[in-house]
Structure 1
Amino acid sequence: MDNYPLLNIFLTMVWFFLGVLWLMLLFRVILDVFRDDTLNGWAKAGWSIFLIVLPLLGVFVYLVVRGKGMGRREISAMAEREERYHAAAEQRAAARTTGQADELTRLADLKNHGELTPEEYEHAKANVLAR
C-alpha cells in the first residue's frame, strides 16, 4: 500500500464507478429493447446480438437511433404506474369509507338496542370518524 499513491486510488475509484455506470446504461438499453412493443422478435434479436457483440458501439447507436422513443416509453410507463397507484388509492379510500359506514351502522344499532349510552355512542362515533 506504500507504493500506491492517493491519486491512483482516486483514479481506480473513478474507473470503477464509470464501469458501474456503463453496466447500468447497457442493462437499461437491453431492458428497453425487450420492453418495446413496437419491435418484432427479429428486431429484438438483432439489437440484442448487436449489444452483446459490440456493446460500446451498440449502446451509442441504439441511443442515437431510438433514444427519443426510449424516453417516451419511460414516461408512458411512469404515467401508467401512477394511474395504477391512484386507482388503488381510490379503492382503498372507498373500502375505508365503506368500513366506516358499516361501523357507524353497527354503533347506531348498539345505541338503539340500549347497549350504548348516547355519550358512549358519540365518543365511539368520533373515534371512527377520526380514523
Structure 2
Amino acid sequence: MEFWDIIWYIIVCFAFIAYLIMLWMIISDLFRNREQSGWVKAIWIVFLFIVPWLTALVYLIVHGDGMAKRSAREAAEFKSAQDNYIREVAGEKSPAEHIADAKALLDSGTINEDEFQALKAKALA
C-alpha cells in the first residue's frame, strides 16, 4: 500500500465511525423524544436507512437544539438519581445524631464509656 492509500483509508474509517456515532445519537434521541408520535419516529428511521447522510444532516438541523436539551435533562435526572442513591447509602446524619445514637448505646449498656468517647470523637472529626 502506498502512503496516500493509507491516509485515504484512515479518513474513510474516521468518517464511517463518525457516521455510526451520529446515527446512534439520532436514534437514541428519537426514542427519548416524547413530543413526536410513533409514526413520525418510524418515518425518520426509514429515511435514515434509505438516504442516511442527508436524513442525518436534516435531523441535526431541525432537532439539534431539542437534542441538546433532552440530553442535558437526562444527564441532570441521572445525576439527581445518583446523588439520592449516594445519600441513601451513605446516610446524612449530623454529628449530633451520631453522638445521640452512641449515647443511647451507652445507656443501654451495649458499649462502654471508652467506646462512647471513641464514637463521639469520630463523629466530631
Sort the TM-score into its range (normalised by shorter chain).
0.7 to 0.9
Is 1:30–1:51's contact at 8 Å kept on the other side of the alignment?
no
Q: Is the alpha carbon distance of 1:121 and 1:61 closer, same or farther for their aligned partners in structure 2, counting shifts above 3 Å?
A: same
1:71 counterpart = 2:75: no
Q: CA deviation at 1:90?
A: 2.9
The equivalent of 2:93 in structure 1 is 97
CA distance in 2, matches of 1:47, 1:90: 41
* Uncovered stretches (5+) of structure 2, i.e. residues with no partner: none
CA distance in 2, matches of 1:124, 1:75: 42
Is 1:33–1:44's contact at 8 Å kept on the other side of the alignment?
yes
* Uncovered stretches (5+) of structure 1, i.e. residues with no partner: none
The equivalent of 2:33 in structure 1 is 36
CA distance in 1, matches of 2:111, 2:29: 63
1:119 counterpart = 2:114: yes
Detail structure 1 runs of 4+ shifted over 4 Å in the superposition: 98-103
The equivalent of 2:82 in structure 1 is 85
1:20-75, CA deviations, whole angstroms, 9 ceiling, x for partnerless residues? 11111111101111111011111111111111111111101101111111111111
Is 2:23–2:56's contact at 8 Å kept on the other side of the alignment?
yes
TM-score (norm 1): 0.74
1:49 counterpart = 2:46: yes
Residue identity matched to 1:66 = H
The equivalent of 2:107 in structure 1 is 109
1:60 counterpart = 2:29: no
Instruction: Give me the CA root mean square deviation.
Output: 2.9
Number of residues of Structure 1 aligned to a counterpart in Structure 2: 123
The equivalent of 2:11 in structure 1 is 14
SS of 2:93's equivalent in the other structure is helix
CA distance in 1, matches of 2:76, 2:110: 52
Q: Which has the higher contact order (CA 8 A, sep 6+)?
A: 2
Q: CA deviation at 1:130?
A: 7.2
